[in-house]
Structure 1
């Protein structure tokens, strides 16, 4: 009898251990999500990050059969919404959907109450899209080297969507490396920057491929170069910076999902799988690649961690070296 009881106890312990190590999606594991999910977006409604958040929310609702709320909390150069995510309970119910501004925050905004590395756990890099430089058709330049030559002979102007954006930082770094000066016109939105670029009030504009694509397509702007590692299919005739002889001149918009630090790895893995499923759905994938002019990545946490470290180091150095502020 004693031996039989020991056998039963050992068998019970094995079963409990097996259940504890099951993936979170297993019907015998603790269920996730435990209730409605919240996606914090540190921007106002309508921008590209909000669009990505809402695409994700729709897919999660459909695939997980759970309510998903997108909460827009803009302000403070995205620090307000990001802080809310950093302070959220690490219970798998709150997630941050953000963009390239996330990597700029540590150097751009002084006295942050959170650390982008220590207080967050990467989930996935959803997609990347190159910034593009385009000029008004009245300007004669058709290659990046011609723009540099013109800048040496005079003070060219360019528009961006704001101080501290990756477009602004990339142009600052490039101009310094080329030994030229370019006057920066910072705008509060892509629409305002586009208006002045199309009107010819500035010589050039740097912005995401999605922002500039309609004006390029109808001839109101002429593209010079795209700042990604490979040509976008929708802009197959526009060379990359490497092809133009400037391989270090890279600047991409990106979107990703992060969790509050200490969120259990099993929940992060489950969210990764659910996010991949949402964006691999044909309709959603087409919207990302065509409307947002982006490349789907859907990398795992470790790949995103490495990517983020590179972004924080690159743009942080530009901000510090050139004393750039958010205003």
Structure 2
């Protein structure tokens, strides 16, 4: 009787989510990030993984599988067994995949189940401090004076940052040169080095470099000024209305993952994000507005994002790198 009780206690402690991985010695739950190291999505995944490891009772490892606007890593999760051992933590470009890649090897709606919308942060424009741009108007003026001479970096063709700049060019009658990168970290590196005039990225990936003095921001695309960037005007304040773009991070599971398993991961994420140090890092370092939604709320949110940004992809005939 004591042996049975002890086994039952261990099973509860490990939780239903972790149990499948415990059957294979040394197995771990993996969170697939469909982008390279150094970007905000990678940072968020690594920030929450220790708390998830503690709460789920098995190691939680982050696996970077970048490429093709995030579709390579996403495909891995879409085709994984729905057993609670493989999860996707992805970025806002997830909303553009179906429009961006016509021959996508998976269906984002059919093959993935929503788990949580973690939070969001406004997109910002940033440059090396010795670059001449001080506001969005100066960028527009320079691009008009020298079509295609002004360059900007993003995390890839069809990402929300790229699409935001496509809209900006369309509304201002300008042409700029786009340099797509495989991750936010690579875009930052080349911007800091001065190889690209500016970059568009989430406040999350840019802020540490702004704080360190290697980058300077000069515009933000949120609906209002971010508290940590209170002196930085929005593009609406600069006279460009209706051009809002916020980065977001979401977690998905392979379709068919049991609802109880999804609920357990959602709860573990909420508990991990609510830790004081993690919450502070998300808000102050990643510049994120925490949402920590239900699976249903992420599903509804994603539908709106797909409709909004998918139209930009189709209207401008944009394809993945």
Q: Give the TM bin, normalised by the shorter chain.
A: 0.7 to 0.9
Checking the alignment, whether the CA contact within 8 Å between 1:160 and 1:190 is kept in structure 2 is no
Q: Which has the larger radius of gyration?
A: 1
Alignment partner of 1:89 is 2:81: yes
Cα distance in 1 between the residues matched to 2:196 and 2:244 = 22
Checking the alignment, whether the CA contact within 8 Å between 1:159 and 1:187 is kept in structure 2 is no
Q: Which residue of 2 aligns with 1:159?
A: 152
Question: Which runs of 4 or more aligned residues in structure 1 lie more than 6 Å from their structure 2 counterparts after TM superposition?
Answer: none
Q: Which residue of 1 aligns with 2:278?
A: 284
Task: Measure how far apart 1:221 and its partner are.
Answer: 4.2
Task: Measure how far apart 1:116 and its partner are.
Answer: 0.9
Q: Which residue of 1 aligns with 2:117?
A: 125
Cα distance in 1 between the residues matched to 2:307 and 2:250 = 18
Q: Which residue of 2 aligns with 1:113?
A: 105
**RMSD value over aligned CA atoms?**
2.7
Task: Measure how far apart 1:148 and its partner are.
Answer: 2.9
Q: Which residue of 2 aligns with 1:99?
A: 91
Q: Which residue of 2 aligns with 1:33?
A: 18
Task: Measure how far apart 1:115 and its partner are.
Answer: 1.0
Q: Which residue of 2 aligns with 1:14?
A: none
CA deviation map 1:62-96 (0-9, x unaligned) = 12323323333333332222112112222333221
Structure 2 unaligned residues grouped into runs of 5+ = 1-10, 22-28
TM-score (norm 2): 0.82
After TM superposition, the structure 1 = structure 2 runs for residues 175-324 of structure 1, keeping only pairs within 5 Å, are 175-198=169-192, 200=194, 202-217=196-211, 220-324=214-318
Task: Measure how far apart 1:281 and its partner are.
Answer: 0.5
Q: Which residue of 2 aligns with 1:76?
A: 68
CA deviation map 1:14-48 (0-9, x unaligned) = xxxxxxxxxxxx96xx9343233332222344433
Task: Please state whether the residue corresponding to 2:315 is helix, strand or coil.
Answer: helix
Task: Measure how far apart 1:196 and its partner are.
Answer: 4.8
Cα distance in 2 between the residues matched to 1:35 and 1:182 = 50
Checking the alignment, whether the CA contact within 8 Å between 1:129 and 1:294 is kept in structure 2 is yes
Cα distance in 2 between the residues matched to 1:222 and 1:66 = 41
Task: Measure how far apart 1:145 and its partner are.
Answer: 3.6
Total equivalences in the alignment: 300
With over 3 angstroms needed to count, the CA separation of the structure-2 counterparts of 1:270 and 1:110, relative to structure 1, is same
After TM superposition, the structure 1 = structure 2 runs for residues 60-75 of structure 1, keeping only pairs within 5 Å, are 60-75=52-67
Q: Which moved more, 1:195-204 or 1:255-264?
A: 195-204
With over 3 angstroms needed to count, the CA separation of the structure-2 counterparts of 1:146 and 1:73, relative to structure 1, is closer
With over 3 angstroms needed to count, the CA separation of the structure-2 counterparts of 1:93 and 1:214, relative to structure 1, is closer
Cα distance in 2 between the residues matched to 1:201 and 1:40 = 30
Task: Please state whether the residue corresponding to 1:184 is helix, strand or coil.
Answer: strand
With over 3 angstroms needed to count, the CA separation of the structure-2 counterparts of 1:129 and 1:274, relative to structure 1, is same
Checking the alignment, whether the CA contact within 8 Å between 2:88 and 2:251 is kept in structure 1 is yes
Checking the alignment, whether the CA contact within 8 Å between 2:119 and 2:291 is kept in structure 1 is yes
TM-score (norm 1): 0.81
Checking the alignment, whether the CA contact within 8 Å between 2:66 and 2:182 is kept in structure 1 is no
With over 3 angstroms needed to count, the CA separation of the structure-2 counterparts of 1:139 and 1:85, relative to structure 1, is closer
With over 3 angstroms needed to count, the CA separation of the structure-2 counterparts of 1:314 and 1:158, relative to structure 1, is farther
Checking the alignment, whether the CA contact within 8 Å between 1:158 and 1:206 is kept in structure 2 is no
Cα distance in 2 between the residues matched to 1:202 and 1:134 = 11
